[in-house]
Amino acid sequence: GGVVYVNYGRREDFEQLRSLGIALNGSIAVARVGGGVSFAEKVWFAQEAGHVGVLIYPDPADVPQDPRRLGLHSNAVISEHVHLGSGDPFTPGFPSFNLTQFPSTQSSGLPVIPAQPISANVASKLLSQLSGVGCPRGWQGRLPYVQCVLGPGFTGPGERKMKMAVYNTMKPVLLNNIFASIEGKVEPDHYIIIGAQRDSWGPGAVKSGVGTALLMELARTFSNMVENGFYPRRSLLFVSWDGGDFGNVGATEWLEGYLTMLHLKAVAYFSLDQAILGDDILSVYTSPLLADLIEGAIKQVEHPKHTGQSILSLVRRQGGWRNIVKPLYLNSGAYSFTAFGGVPAMQLHFTEDARSYPFVNTQLDSVGRLQELLQGRLRSVGRAVGELVGLMVLKLSHDHILPLDVTCYSSTAQQLSSKLNQHAAQLQSRGLSPQWVFSARGDYSRAAKNLHEAIKNSDIQDERLARLYNTRIMRVEYYFLSQYVSVVETPFRHVFHGRGDHTLSALADHLSLLTSAPHLFDEALFRRQLALFTWTLQGAANALSGDVWNIDNPL
């Protein structure tokens, strides 16, 4: 087909191309790396737009490409999987422990069009020959000899087209996840999980080496503590995951295998993947249930680049510790645990302020290049990350009452209530009432507050009582997995962190159409979205309230 330059391949980029009248159907998209969307999302949006293939390249505007200054060579490609999901894409929603037990079923997130990474040099040769409308403002990259035009035609005589083909071979491969454990003394059946990806396509210093080294060091440290007389209250589970580069396959298949009991056992998960991409700025991608652990940890750990100063002291200059807390993202090692498994999860990243580490997912991701970026401070940054995770794991494994903030989702639900209030008149004119959402949010807020008060007024040294409270606390994340969508078709069922029509973000986006594009508002779909979200929230409130005789739901 013809070739169309689609900028970063975001949904809004394709919408802008349509508004400009560019013919997308039957053409091959060329997208650049970055823009806040993964390769999988770029390919998914291109497929939705009617493209028949996607080529993805690193543009010098986004990825440094001067080998003399710690940049990629212009012939280098960046690789990433394109499954809009995680795990084995041919056993969606169930484990591939033994493929003979299940018929092969293709994941709904697996694209049906080919995708291929290309280098900046190849992209330059293609895009320099395009003809058509000039690029919108802000779409111009820094490829040499390229005057930014959109295509889909080529310059020169005749109607030239490009042929694209991908020759992949499919074969079964045995994956090996490796586990080690330290058994808890009081609640051995409740455990905190620490994990890291072990595989990579290239040398994988950042992709798998750093995380594996941190995992081994944390396991060694906690083992030494046990040898010296320390026993955690809850168990610790250390896991080295296989198949991470194909979409966290090893971790997701394990989650799928034990999905029905994990919420009864797993307190939290900490991913050590890609923890060190620099030594300046700490970012914490987490379930909000774990967010309050951050402040206590960064108060006690020295910043790897600023000797004698805690991480908290530097974070305060940037506006406070809550500014470093961010939502989980699809390609992170922690995302599936929360969005699919209903287990609170966290992943930490140290990054550079002035420049990025451009070698992740390339054949150049080596320890030497990482050390060069960090100016020899890899050990000190690794120590800081290890101490941060170790302190949070220690608190979760040792405190009588689990330090998870069950009130956090009240404020998130409140944001929806505010948006519904803004559109109250338009909703009422269509016979829609947000009353039940308000009621469910109020019930959840009261249940969370009552639990907090009950714990404060109880003897937490009473082991039976402490266990009852902890059981209710550790199941909160699981309560927000929608029971009304199929785990096969919609694996990320979490209404706050998941993906699909059942989520809060989908509901809010649909609601905004009342103002931006009323003709696109689908009343029947919105009623369904509102009902499913409301009852998921109400179910979480009921479960958090405790025994059924403490629940009062008018019929």
For the residues of 490-526, what is the DSSP string, one character each?
A: ----BTTT--STTSHHHHHHHHHHHHH-GGG--HHHH
Instruction: Quote the CA–CA distance of 524 and 533 in Å, as a whole number.
Output: 14
Alpha helices in 403-522 (DSSP H): 408-422, 424-429, 435-456, 463-474, 476-479, 504-516
pLDDT of residue 424: 80
Instruction: Quote the CA–CA distance of 249 and 233 in Å, as a whole number.
Output: 31
Specify whether the CB–CB gap between 448 and 406 falls below 8 A: yes
* Radius of gyration over every alpha carbon of the chain, rounded to an integer in angstroms: 25
Instruction: Quote the CA–CA distance of 68 and 205 in Å, as a whole number.
Output: 20
Residues paired with residue 223 on neighbouring β-strands, in sequence order = none
Residues paired with residue 531 on neighbouring β-strands, in sequence order = none
Phi/psi-derived region of residue 467, left when phi > 0, alpha when psi is between -120 and 50, beta in every other case: alpha
Q: Which of 26, 25, 6 is nearest to 16 (CA)?
A: 6
Supply the pTM of this predicted model: 0.93
Residue type, 280: D
Q: Which of 417, 457, 486, 431 is nearest to 94 (CA)?
A: 486
pLDDT of residue 318: 78
Q: How many of the other CB atoms lie within 10 Å of CB of 66?
A: 11
Specify whether the CB–CB gap between 465 and 434 falls below 8 A: no
pLDDT of residue 354: 65
Specify whether the CB–CB gap between 110 and 83 falls below 8 A: yes
Instruction: Quote the CA–CA distance of 235 and 256 in Å, as a whole number.
Output: 21
CA separation (Å) from 342 to 235, 306, 421?
19, 37, 30
CA separation (Å) from 91 to 172, 252, 333, 482?
12, 11, 19, 20
Instruction: Quote the CA–CA distance of 26 and 53 in Å, as a whole number.
Output: 9
pLDDT of residue 549: 47
Angle at 418 between CA 416 and CA 421, to 5 degrees: 110
Q: How many of the other CB atoms lie within 10 Å of CB of 309?
A: 11
* Residue 181 token pair: 């454990």
Instruction: Quote the CA–CA distance of 191 and 404 in Å, as a whole number.
Output: 14
Instruction: Quote the CA–CA distance of 337 and 79 in Å, as a whole number.
Output: 24
Question: Is residue 6 packed enough to be buried (19+ CB in 10 Å), middle (13-18) or exposed (0-12)?
Answer: buried
Instruction: Quote the CA–CA distance of 261 and 257 in Å, as a whole number.
Output: 9
CA separation (Å) from 233 to 182, 230, 264, 400?
10, 10, 16, 8
Specify whether the CB–CB gap between 17 and 151 falls below 8 A: no
Q: Which residue has the tokens 């959840």?
A: 444
Task: Give me the residues of the chain with pLDDT under 70, please.
Answer: 98-104, 354, 547-555
Specify whether the CB–CB gap between 482 and 531 falls below 8 A: no
Residue 350 phi, psi dihedral angles, 5° rounding: -100, 130
pLDDT of residue 374: 92
Question: Is residue 161 packed enough to be buried (19+ CB in 10 Å), middle (13-18) or exposed (0-12)?
Answer: middle
CA separation (Å) from 11 to 8, 86, 150?
9, 21, 16
Residues paired with residue 78 on neighbouring β-strands, in sequence order = none
* Residue 500 token pair: 């699909």
Instruction: Quote the CA–CA distance of 230 and 416 in Å, as a whole number.
Output: 45
pLDDT of residue 554: 52
